[in-house]
Structure 1
Amino acid sequence: MNTLNDYQLLTKQALALIENESDLIANLSNLSALLNMNLDKINWVGFYLLKDQQLILGPFQGNVACVRIDLDKGVCGKAFSSNTTQRIADVHDFPGHIACDAASQSEIVVPINVNGKTVAVLDIDSPITERFNEVDEQGLNYFVEQLQSQLGF
């Protein structure tokens, strides 16, 4: 994805993919596959869902991953607890980074909100540093904003 227009097109595809499906797991599974097919230079994309005051691994594409993340730990926990997108150029410079996959070098995590409450995060990792830029951040924020109320939470 090079432009915001690319992300807008991807978002339209995603909305069409989930428009007649109300099952959360089915929708997140297809969205992780769609993102994996369309984003270059990534090695993991998926979702962590709030359950029992922890982030629990949801549908994803990539290598095996951490199953549980405390709400105050790592990039995912920071994005969730602060309800802000975290774009990390080099995960080794992030205090408290959780190394689920040693190959990951950069990361972006976008919180997902339903009815004003954070319920999950979209997490994307890359094997290169500084993979994610401002266009990616704006595009992924748009992607999540447009989809979050229709995912089936």
Structure 2
Amino acid sequence: MFSVESYKGTREENYQLVIKQLSALLEGEKNRIANLSNASALLNQFLDRTNWVGFYLMEEGELVLGPFQGLPACVRIPLGKGVCGTAAKQMKTVRVEDVHQFPGHIACDASSQSEIVIPLVKDGSLLGVLDIDSPEKKRFDELDQKYLEAFSEVLVSFL
């Protein structure tokens, strides 16, 4: 059975541990919603200084709200709109230090100040995005991006 070990190492060691925990948590499960739900819950308990962790999934040419942890959120996001839509359209990670400076930012939660969005790509196709918001500016750095992208790659292998 899966258990959450405490995160007492360096940031890198802690990220490596949470990625191992993700693999253990998803091993043998094929249901996409179950896996996304557990991945958002795992990241939510792992990350500090965040107020929303979840997924938007590609459906008929737009992003639709998927499993998440946090306050109720925007349900549909067109490609190219906001941080999520931009990351999805470009199929690359978008890290925003101050969402109020991002042109066309969609404010689902007024307390969000910074954001990182990682596209979930499998075999060249966009499945959706991992979206993480923080109530503090400049919350996410290069190390977060590196390991959240690695986390997303492992996750995609189970989808």
TM-score under structure 2 length normalisation: 0.92
Between Structure 1 and Structure 2, how many residues are aligned?
A: 151
Q: Does the CA-based 8 Å contact 1:46-1:61 persist in structure 2?
A: yes
Query: What is the rounded CA distance, in whole Å, between the counterparts of 1:146 and 1:24 in structure 2?
Result: 13
* Aligned: 1:54 with 2:62: yes
For residues 55 and 66 of structure 2, the distance between their equivalents in structure 1, rounded to whole angstroms, comes to: 5
Moved over 6 A (4+): none
| Equivalent position of 1:24 in the other structure | 32
CA-based RMSD: 1.1
Deviation at 1:119, TM superposition (A): 1.1
- Counterpart CA distance in 2 for 1:98 and 1:147 is 26
1:117 maps to which of 118, 122, 125: 125
Q: CA deviation at 1:141?
A: 0.7
- Offset of residue 5 of structure 1: 2.3
Q: Report how far residue 96 of structure 1 moved.
A: 0.5
Per-residue displacement from partner, 1:74-122 (whole Å, max 9, x unpaired)? 0001110101101100000000000000000000000001111111100
Counterpart of 1:131 in structure 2 is 139
Residue from 59, 66, 69 that aligns with 2:77: 69
Are residues 1:3 and 2:38 paired?
no
Does the aligned pair in 1 maintain the 2:39–2:155 contact within 8 Å?
A: no
Structure 1, gaps ≥5 residues long: none
Mapped contact 1:21–1:27 kept (Cα < 8 A): yes
Alignment correspondent of 2:53 = 45
CA contact (8 A) 2:35 2:158 kept: no
In structure 2, which of residues 114, 128, 135 is the aligned counterpart of residue 106 of structure 1?
114
Higher relative contact order (CA 8 A, sep 6+): 1
Conservation of the 8 A alpha-carbon contact between 1:65 and 1:100: yes
Work out whether residues 56 and 68 of structure 1, in 8 Å CA contact, stay in contact via their aligned partners in 2.
Answer: yes
